[in-house]
A and B are shown apart, each in its own frame.
Chain A
């Protein structure tokens, strides 16, 4: 794989994480516990999908095969998607979604903060736009982790369960493979292991404040970055890609 190909993969990974996260959050539309939260979650979904669009447009340019952003969203198969497993897991209950999104937003906060000074100008520009949205996602989800963790016995139970259930999917966020190494050397990407300690420190602080236990490290799930997914991604793609698969290039 040459450098251009590696940059393409790096950009696609960022885009896939944003798209799948956005699609999941969009599923809350009309289902959130309260109207205001419905708006908040669908706003977040749109932030993510907008970010995915920007990244896929850049990917299309890097790929240089005449594809557009819709190709990457609607015409690729499960194995081509390189998003983290955490982004594709089902929404379940509100505490689950908040825990998942908080883990992700905190990771993205440190990731995109560093990408703002990427040597790749397009990635840096997208990061500078995204970081403002991510800060808000982080604020909102953290407030909910605190409130549900330190709320009633039922909300505490559900939030603790959510934190425990998703913990094994957080390891993958900080994995480093050859593409990451190469991007780091070129000053385009970041070292995910450097942001792990920052992430963990914040997680511990917030969980303590929320009267929640920090889960013990055990087996960590992995695979998403290499296209090996949970059973859930196939259902997401079936839902998301149906129209473009059935009626290629449909316009309205």
Chain B
């Protein structure tokens, strides 16, 4: 009885925006685009209209390899009780800025 809902739009692309040169690219969202040139322009029109970025990466959504939610316990929980992995036990020299 379940009818499959088909996506009638163009292929999906994930958009990553760099807000300033040197900073990491951050995931901004996704857009549809018939091919990479159109997808790039759509990304520009959708996500950089308000001066959000200086550079864009786009990646076909089906090229993203995502971790499986069912692996979450094995992947992420072991690090919960290992606070020593955070460098919080060092005394910072006075006057050291930007650390």
Residue positions of A touching B, CB distance < 8 A: 34-37, 39-40, 43, 136, 139-140, 143, 147
Interface range on chain B: under 10, 10 to 19, 20 to 34, or 35 or more? 10 to 19
* A43/B38 contact (C-beta < 8 A), A34-B32, A36-B31, A36-B33 known: no
Would you give the shortest CB distance from B52 to chain A, in whole angstroms?
A: 14
A34 touching B41, Cβ below 8 Å: no
Q: Which residues of A contact B38 (CB under 8 A)?
A: 143, 147
Q: Are B41 and A39 in contact (CB under 8 A)?
A: no
Closest 3 CB pairs of A and B: A36-B42, A40-B45, A39-B45
A139/B32 in contact, CB under 8 A: no
Contact (Cβ within 8 A) A143 B46 = no
Residue of A nearest to B43 (CB): A36
**Chain A's nearest CB lies how many Å from the CB of B42?**
4
Is the beta-carbon distance between A143 and B45 smaller than 8 angstroms?
Answer: no
Cα distance, A75 to B46, chains bound together (Å): 34
Which one, A40, A136, A139, contacts B42 given CB within 8 A?
A: A40
Given A34-B10, A147-B34, decide whether A43 and B49 contact each other with a Cβ distance below 8 A. yes
- Nearest-neighbour CB distance to chain A for B51, whole angstroms, equals 13
Chain B residues within 8 Å of A, Cβ to Cβ: 9-10, 31-35, 37-38, 41-42, 44-46, 49
Q: Using a Cβ cutoff of 8 Å, how many contacts connect chains A and B?
A: 29
Main secondary structure of the interface of A (DSSP, over half): helix
A–B complex contacts, Cβ < 8 Å, 9 sampled? A34-B32, A35-B32, A36-B31, A36-B42, A39-B42, A39-B49, A40-B42, A143-B41, A147-B34
A19 smallest CB distance to B (angstroms): 21
B37 adjacent to A36 (CB under 8 Å): no
Besides A34-B9, A39-B46, A136-B44, 12 other CB < 8 A contacts? A34-B10, A36-B31, A36-B32, A36-B42, A37-B42, A39-B45, A40-B41, A40-B45, A139-B41, A143-B37, A147-B34, A147-B35
- Please report the C-alpha to C-alpha distance between residue A36 and residue B44 in the assembled complex, in whole angstroms: 10
Instruction: Report chain B residues within 8 Å CB of A35.
Output: 32
Contacts of B44 in A (CB 8 A): 136
C-alpha spacing A143/B41, complex, angstroms: 10
Within the assembled complex, what's the spacing in Å between the Cα atoms of A34 and B37? 16
